[in-house]
Amino acid sequence: MRYGLCLAMLAMLVVCGCRQREVQPWAGTVGPVPRTGQPPSPGGEAIPVSDATPADDETPAHFLAGAFDLPEGEITVTEKEHRNPALSLPGKTYTCTHGGEEYQIRTIAPGVWSVMNRTRLKDQGQTSPSAAQAKKAAQAVLQRRWGDRAAEMTVDQDKPLPSGPYSLTYRVVVAPDVLTGDDAAVMVGGDGKLISYNEHRAQRQVRYEEVKLTREEAIAKAQAIMEARYEPKPKLKLLDAKLILSSHLHPQKGPLWSVKLGMLNSIGGRPETVTAADGVFVDAMTGKEVKLPGLETR
């Protein structure tokens, strides 16, 4: 059970994006993108960033203190060394202790942090907290970490996990299928206490009309990438397409399209159904594929 939860936590950290001191605009001239929904703010201005947002030089102890409501000065931090660098994941891993409890922290890019209370995870049983307990714990950590901006976050997923804990994910949505890149994931144990917390913070203030690639163009690019990825060429069905205005996966922390496609198959003469799914990230400025860290050769 603990292994599965750790994998789930890592997946949320990588895909689910500390404020830059100065935001640099895109070079060149870009026109408006025809798309349903309203721009992030009147006139397409940049999304405001709260003064309460942590600085881009945040430390593991400061992150842990805010996530779990601990006194920062009483936290012990040790950076974990990877025995085999070739097999290590991108970013840094830290082991932290406070009050007899052990925490594991990972950061893979500026503004991308995760923490898990390994002691609570070890003691976690099969009992799930109530939805009210889980939401109370989630709102408390969001308020500590995001301040007034917590009110901008909407629930994306809200469900108990088969292994016991309750999982909630939050995003800042500015228009239909358009996200700022700010999101958070919370896992709460059966006793209503926080087990893990992940967050991504948008690293740039990207204006809505700066995006060059339309939704239709991004989907077409993703379909071509998927068709080249598999042999024989799969029959595809669009499952989801979202624009992230500032993603940590983008080379310049800019906008990308996240497109999820299902592969259709007919088994035993039955009607075609989606039997597998895969995702493609497309640079919303250049149309090129953006690959997850560690999958560059795929």
pLDDT tens string 246-283: 999 998 999 999 999 999 988 877 888 998 999 999 99
Q: Is 18 inside any structural domain?
A: no
Q: What DSSP assignment string belongs to 161-215?
A: -TTS-EEEEEEEEEETTEEEEEEEEEEE-TTS-EEEEEEE---S---GGG--S-H
Looking at every residue in the chain, the average pLDDT score rounds to 81
| 179, 166 Cβ separation under 8 angstroms | no
Which is it for strands 256-265 and 194-200: parallel, antiparallel or unpaired? unpaired
- Give the distance from CA 263 to its chain's centroid: 24
Closest C-alpha among 285, 204, 247, 211 to residue 44: 211
pLDDT at position 215, please?
95
For the stretch 111-155, pLDDT in tens is 999 999 999 998 877 788 999 999 999 999 999 999 999 999 999
Supply the range of the domain harboring residue 121. Answer: 53-200
Whether residue 64 sits in one domain with residue 154: yes
pLDDT at 157: 92
Please indicate, yes or no, if residue 33 is contained in any of the structural domains.
Answer: no
**Cα-to-chain-centroid distance, residue 195:** 17
Final residue belonging to a domain, choices 176, 200, 224: 200
Band (77; pLDDT cuts 50, 70, 90): very high
Residues 124 and 190 occupy one common structural domain: yes
Give the whole-angstrom CA distance, residue 60 versus residue 93. 9
Closest CA to 104 of 112, 187, 114: 114
pTM for the model: 0.77
Task: Check residue 19 and give its pLDDT.
Answer: 31
Are 187 and 61 found together in one domain? yes
Q: Work out the number of other CB atoms within 10 angstroms of the CB of residue 145.
A: 20
141 in any annotated domain = yes
Which of 157, 184, 200 lies at the terminal end of a domain, its last residue? 200
Cα distance from N-terminal residue to C-terminal residue, the chain: 29
Distance (Å, rounded) from C-alpha 48 to C-alpha 40? 10
Report the pLDDT value the prediction gives residue 280, as an integer from 0 to 100.
96
Sign of the alpha-carbon dihedral angle for 128, 277, 179, 256: positive
Q: Dump pLDDT digits (tens) for 220-238.
A: 999 999 999 998 899 999 9
174 closest CA partner among 45, 33, 41, 26: 41
Quick one: how far is CA 79 from the chain centroid?
23
pLDDT (0 to 100) of residue 11 = 45
Whether residue 283 sits in one domain with residue 236: yes
Q: Which of the given ranges, 31-35, 71-75, 262-266, has the highest pLDDT on average?
A: 71-75
Secondary structure element (H or E) that encloses residue 101, with its range: strand 101-109
Q: How many domains does the chain have?
A: 2
CATH number at residue 212: 3.10.450
Q: Say which DSSP state 152 is in.
A: G
How confident is the model at residue 86, as a pLDDT? Answer: 53
What percent of the chain clears pLDDT 90, i.e. is strictly above it?
A: 60
268, 231: one domain: yes
Same domain, 69 and 187: yes
Same-domain check for residues 81 and 168: yes
